[in-house]
Amino acid sequence: MFGECDDFDEGRGAVSALSRFRPTPPAVPEPGDDGRRKFRTIWISDVHLGTKGCNAELLIDFLDNVDSETMYLVGDIIDGWRLKKKFYWPAAHNDIVWRILKRARRGTRIVYIPGNHDEMFRQFTGLNFGGVEIRRAAFHDTADGRRLMVLHGDEFDAVMLAHRWLAFVGDAAYGAMMALNRWVNAVRSRLGLPYWSLSKMAKHKVKNAVEFISRYEEVVARAAAQRGVDGVVCGHIHTAEFRLFDGVEYWNDGDWVEGCNALVEHFDGRMEILHWPEEIARREAAAAEQAASARIAEAA
């Protein structure tokens, strides 16, 4: 399917290409859907299928352990930019698409709001593929009557101006810069030149990244306030967060590249950000405890 990306850009034939798409059965079979934690709503975004960065195994574990009436895919689910440059599509990525479509067939309402990395799907806004509704943005009414605007969040890039990439300065890039810093200064010292701190510059940039995120959250919340809603749900900056700006709720559902987070709404309207690696650790600890008490009961 994704080898046909050029067809997508052509527009023509793309709709039929997408409607013909059937993922092959999953490499990792899906367990039964009983015993899953049930939520009213789940939001996930920034999965970046088609890249090595995607934590597909963790996302499969998440999908196999939770269920909801409605699920929002808040953009950057498939990384079309990267796929066009280099085709990368392991079995686990297919398993995720299969699970999402299966969920739609089981009756979960699935709303897909493409982001900037999967913007090739934006041309299908208003259409429905296998029970997946494609929207540019959505309004979600919570169980306790709050109205939330749901969008990917790249809409604000123009307002945020330059240095967008700074928000993505990762540990690996930082570490590489530190190594480079050591090398540059070893050379400089041999040449009799004074120490020059690349790391200081880097730290300044990281501080800028923190400021960027904070400013972004405020810009998005203010835009939501102008639309007269109670809050906003977005993704895009790979930073799961809840903040209140003059009573307007800002929720970011995080990502599945670094944080592995999801945003959920409980049946009473209460919302929660789940950090899935922590949920797995908790589940494994509970299982170990249960196994231990079973052994004690057996011994008694």
Near Mn ion by CB under 5 A: residue from 80, 115, 231, 259: 115
Number of residues located near Mn ion, criterion CB under 5 A: 5
Backbone angles phi, psi at 234, to 5 degrees: -145, 180
Taking residue 228's Cβ as centre, other Cβ atoms within 10 Å add up to: 8
Closer of 158 and 296 to Mn ion (Cβ)? 158
133 SS3 class: strand
Binding mask 136-155 for Mn ion (x = CB under 5 A): ------------------x-
Near Mn ion by CB under 5 A: residue from 40, 48, 99, 236: 236
Separation between Cα atoms, residue 273 and residue 262, nearest integer Å: 6
CB of 51 to Mn ion, least distance (A): 12
CB of 233 to Mn ion, least distance (A): 14
CB of 127 to Mn ion, least distance (A): 21
Burial of 59 (0-12, 13-18, 19+ CB in 10 A): buried
Near Mn ion by CB under 5 A: residue from 67, 76, 253, 265: 76
Separation between Cα atoms, residue 225 and residue 16, nearest integer Å: 39
**Is 140:233 a contact under the CB 8 Å cutoff?**
yes
Q: Tell me the pairing of strands 37-44 and 66-73.
A: parallel
First to last CA, the chain: 59
Closer of 249 and 253 to Mn ion (Cβ)? 253
Binding mask 23-62 for Mn ion (x = CB under 5 A): ----------------------------------------
Burial of 81 (0-12, 13-18, 19+ CB in 10 A): middle
Near Mn ion by CB under 5 A: residue from 65, 70, 108, 116: 116
Stretch that binds Mn ion, among 72-80, 131-139, 163-171, 270-278 (CB under 5 A): 72-80
Site membership for Mn ion, residue 259 (CB under 5 A)? no
- Distance set, CA 39 to CA 23, 43, 67, 293 (Å): 26, 11, 6, 29
| Site for Mn ion, residues 196 to 235, rule: CB under 5 A | none
CB of 157 to Mn ion, least distance (A): 9
What residues line the site for Mn ion (CB under 5 A)? 76, 115-116, 154, 236
